[in-house]
Amino acid sequence: MTLLIFTIILFGAAGALGIAAARRGEAVLWGGVKDAWGQLAFTAPRLVLGVIGAGFLAELLPAEVVRALLGRDAGLLGVVIAAGLGAVAPGGPALVFAVAGAAAAAGAGEGQVMAFTTAWMLFSFNKALVWEQPFLGGRYTRDRMIFAAPAPFLVGAAALWLFD
Amino acid sequence: MLPPSSEREPRRKRIDFGMVILIFIAVAGGLGVWLLRGPERFFAILGEDALLILKIGPKILAAMLLAAWMRLLMSEQAVARWFGRGAGWAGFARAYAGGAILPGGPMTAYPIAAAFGRAGADIGATAVFLASWMLLSLNRTIVWEMAFIDYDTVLQRLLITLPVPILIGLVAQATGRPSFADMAEGERR
């Protein structure tokens, strides 16, 4: 239900902007389509590989090891490990969410999964080096990261505490 | 009007490090499943994967079109002026909403964050915008997170992280960092 609502919003917003683009002229309408096509050429292979890799990974990940290190019972230590892994995880959303989903399927706890994804959202090297540092400067990036540093641990700990 | 993302810096590589890892995981994983679990299991997993791809595909297409048209229809300055306007809590609220609902990946968010400074937004609001985009981006949540992680976990994650951008903004405002002077270093690149 939640996903359905979000999906309708997504398609509705895309349709509305498409109409707005068409009113602005054919160049804008087709310029957007061409631009999106270029983005898709970048994303589609990553999506397909991410899904396939995650499927295989979930099957192969040793459940006992995942549960011991990242399971619910691994508690705060598990959150710390997960946040550390998330902070150094390379690549974009296809890779990170695919791996997180595979880990969850193999027995990782919710709080640990959240710590992993949150750490990636805030600290992804990819994002920091390719985008944040060039656009906002090295010092800005550093200060922003220092302020954000506690967040993945707090989110993971809160999840353990709230949803256990 | 902004030039399309394909003509803007920094250019992304078709095959980057993340891609190499994705290829490695898929090939090594496939080989492992074939050898350890047998071809039957291998093809069963591929079948599940195909269904998942069919499920996510149209959403990704919609998200890409949405972001592309938005980039063409709105200037960074206009977006930054609108979402970066207002001081105090009102400014925080706009920046917070802007970060969560703006579609598109980093190629949309960072130019806008950089434009916040030029548009006269305050330091706290700019920090709120970036943190909100990083943690709450609806686009990324719908397209990617919900595709791979079960919805209850995603919703719980969103609920728990709701206050985080505000906290980061308050710290930024209290300390005066990271400052726009630091940001200018990036713009001089």
* Residues of A with Cβ-Cβ distance to B165 under 8 angstroms: none
Residue B2 pLDDT:
46
- B11 pLDDT band, cuts 50/70/90, is low
**If you compute the radius of gyration of chain A from its CA atoms, what whole number of angstroms results?**
19
Nearest to A32 among B29, B69, B160 (CB): B69
In a domain, A56, yes or no: no
Q: How many residues does this entry show for chain B?
A: 189
Q: Do A143 and B182 touch (CB under 8 A)?
A: yes
- CA A77 to chain CA mean position, Å: 22
Tell me, yes or no, whether A70 and A97 share the same domain.
yes
Q: How far apart are CA B62 and CA B69, in angstroms?
A: 11
Q: Which long-range contacts (CB under 8 A, 24 or more apart) does B12-19 make?
A: B12/A42, B12/A130, B14/A41, B14/A42, B16/A91, B17/A90, B17/A91, B17/A126, B18/A46, B18/A90, B18/A91, B18/A92, B18/A94, B18/A95, B18/A126, B19/A45, B19/A46, B19/A49, B19/A91
In contact, B164 and B135? CB cutoff 8 Å: yes
Domain ranges of chain B: 5-187
pLDDT in tens, A103-155: 999 999 999 999 999 999 999 887 888 888 888 888 889 999 999 999 999 99
Tell whether A36 lies on the interface with B, counting CB pairs under 8 A: yes
- B10 pLDDT band, cuts 50/70/90, is low
In a domain, A54, yes or no: no
| Angle at the Cα of A94 from the Cα atoms of B129 and B160, rounded to 5 degrees | 45
In contact, A118 and B163? CB cutoff 8 Å: no
Tell me, yes or no, whether A8 and A89 share the same domain.
no
Best mutation target among A8, A140, A146 (most B Cβ atoms within 10 Å) is A140
Flag whether pLDDT at B188 surpasses 60. Answer: no
Nearest to A104 among B4, B149, B186 (CB): B149
Tell me, yes or no, whether A157 and A94 share the same domain.
yes
In contact, A118 and B135? CB cutoff 8 Å: yes
Best mutation target among B20, B149, B189 (most A Cβ atoms within 10 Å) is B149
pLDDT in tens, A9-64: 889 999 999 999 999 999 999 999 999 998 888 888 988 998 999 889 889 989 99
Residue B9 pLDDT:
46
Identify the DSSP state of B179: -
Nearest to B149 among A101, A134, A142 (CB): A101
Tell me, yes or no, whether A16 and A92 share the same domain.
no
In a domain, A153, yes or no: yes
Residue B182 pLDDT:
66
Nearest to B65 among A36, A48, A148 (CB): A36
In a domain, A67, yes or no: yes
* Residues of A with Cβ-Cβ distance to B1 under 8 angstroms: 28
Flag whether pLDDT at B54 surpasses 60. Answer: yes
Tell me, yes or no, whether A87 and A125 share the same domain.
yes
- B118 pLDDT band, cuts 50/70/90, is confident
* Residues of B with Cβ-Cβ distance to A101 under 8 angstroms: 148-149
What range defines the domain where residue A120 resides? Answer: 61-163
In a domain, A53, yes or no: no
Q: Do A151 and B161 touch (CB under 8 A)?
A: yes
In a domain, A55, yes or no: no
Per-window interface: B 62-81 vs A, CB < 8 A: 62-73
Q: How many domains does chain A have?
A: 2
Flag whether pLDDT at B8 surpasses 60. Answer: no
- CA A143 to chain CA mean position, Å: 22
Tell me, yes or no, whether A149 and A86 share the same domain.
yes
Tell me, yes or no, whether A42 and A67 share the same domain.
no
- The SS3 call for residue A56 is helix
Nearest to A20 among B14, B73, B153 (CB): B73
In a domain, A51, yes or no: no
